[in-house]
Amino acid sequence: MTPAWILDIFAALMLVVAAVSAARLVVARPWQRGSALLDTDVSHLLMGIAMAGMLASGLTTLSNTAWVVIFALLTAWFAFRVLVDARANGVRALAGGHCAPHLVHGAAMVFMFGALAGPAGGGGSGMSGMDGSSGSAMQTLRYPTLAFVFALILIGYSIWDIDQLSGRRYSTTPARVAPVAVAVPAMVGAEPATATLPSPRATGAAAADGVPSGSAASAEARPAPGGYGGGAAARGLLLSPATTVGCRIAMGVTMALMLLLMI
């Protein structure tokens, strides 16, 4: 059996991701008008908690059914985002757009919670401890082929993200891009969004900031509340696209691990 302490390490990593995502939500104040959208961070927060609950035998979270519903909604949302992206930018956005990895993450979560095999699948938590037991017997997944396919895609996106992150494609500071008003559907529950349509110049500015155009940070049309005074560096790093991508890498690798452990 895979030792429980190894799974606990990954569970702790997921809780760190969830905490970082929660901190980003708090610091960026997405409930304020004009603030940036929040779907990625909400997604990371929920996935971090859910995955930690699956990995660590001592953690009890929601029921599997509740998680399936939550992640199905998130998956539908990201699918919509990917389609919008594809309509605007061509079919390559289906796989290469920013929302595509989030879509895969969401779908993988639905699969993991929905395809748990046997009676262990009916309970709340504990990939390593079925429904709270202290052992390290793994739950298994129906459709191992699908689990393998998901794992491969997750690994691919994670490797790509690491390459892009180390190539400084993502800024470690919040981006500042002058918005050009184009109405597009925004986040569930958010204010009607003013999207940033990067003009060639604006896009260049984003690139100069090391920020993927049209990416998370490019939606932040103005500096986050609080300016760039004391503690701004830490705050800036917290809100930066690099932090989002770092969380995504940790989540992707851990999710791939879980899928393969449950085959």
Partner 1 sequence: MSEVAVADGRTARRGRLGTEVLPVGERLDARRALQLSLAAIWLLDAVLQYQAFMYSKGFTQMIGGTAAGNPSVIARPISWNATLVEHHLVLVNTIFATIQLLIGLGIAFRPTVRVALAASIAWAVGVWWFGEGLGGVLSGAGSPLNGAPGAVIIYALLAVLLWPADRDAAAPFIAGRAVGAHLARALWLVLWLSLAYLALTPANRAPQALNGVIAGMESGEPGWLAAADRGAASLVANRGLAASVVLAVALVLIAVGVYLPRPAAKATLLLAILVALVIWVFGEALGTILTGGGTDPNSGPLLVLLALTYWPVAAATRPTRPVGTEGMAV
C-beta of 40: minimal distance to partner 1 in Å?
4
C-beta of 128: minimal distance to partner 1 in Å?
10
Of positions 114, 123, 124, 156, contacts partner 1 by CB under 8 A = 156
Report the DSSP beta bridge partners of residue 182.
195
User: Per CB under 8 A, does 155 bind partner 1?
Assistant: yes
User: Per CB under 8 A, does 129 bind partner 1?
Assistant: no
Is residue 171 a contact partner of residue 240, using CB atoms and an 8 Å limit? yes
C-beta of 110: minimal distance to partner 1 in Å?
20
| String marking each residue 12-31 x if it binds partner 1 according to CB under 8 A | ------------x---x-x-
Q: Which of residues 32-71 bind partner 1 (CB under 8 A)?
A: 35-41
* DSSP code for 194: E
C-beta of 65: minimal distance to partner 1 in Å?
26
Residue 130 dihedral angles phi and psi, to the nearest 5°: -60, 120
User: Per CB under 8 A, does 257 bind partner 1?
Assistant: yes
Which among 16, 31, 28, 40 is positioned nearest to 174, based on CA atoms? Answer: 28
The rounded distance, in Å, linking the Cα atoms of 12 and 10 is: 5
CA distances from 99 to 32, 103, 117, 227 (A): 23, 6, 29, 28
Q: How many CB atoms lie within 10 A of CB 254?
A: 25
Q: Which of residues 186-205 bind partner 1 (CB under 8 A)?
A: 186-187, 193, 195-200, 203-204
User: Per CB under 8 A, does 244 bind partner 1?
Assistant: yes
The rounded distance, in Å, linking the Cα atoms of 121 and 65 is: 10
Of positions 66, 182, 233, 234, contacts partner 1 by CB under 8 A = 182
Of positions 74, 113, 220, 251, contacts partner 1 by CB under 8 A = 220
Instruction: Find the radius of gyration of the CA atoms of the chain.
Output: 19
Stretch that binds partner 1, among 52-60, 66-74, 116-124, 140-148 (CB under 8 A): 140-148
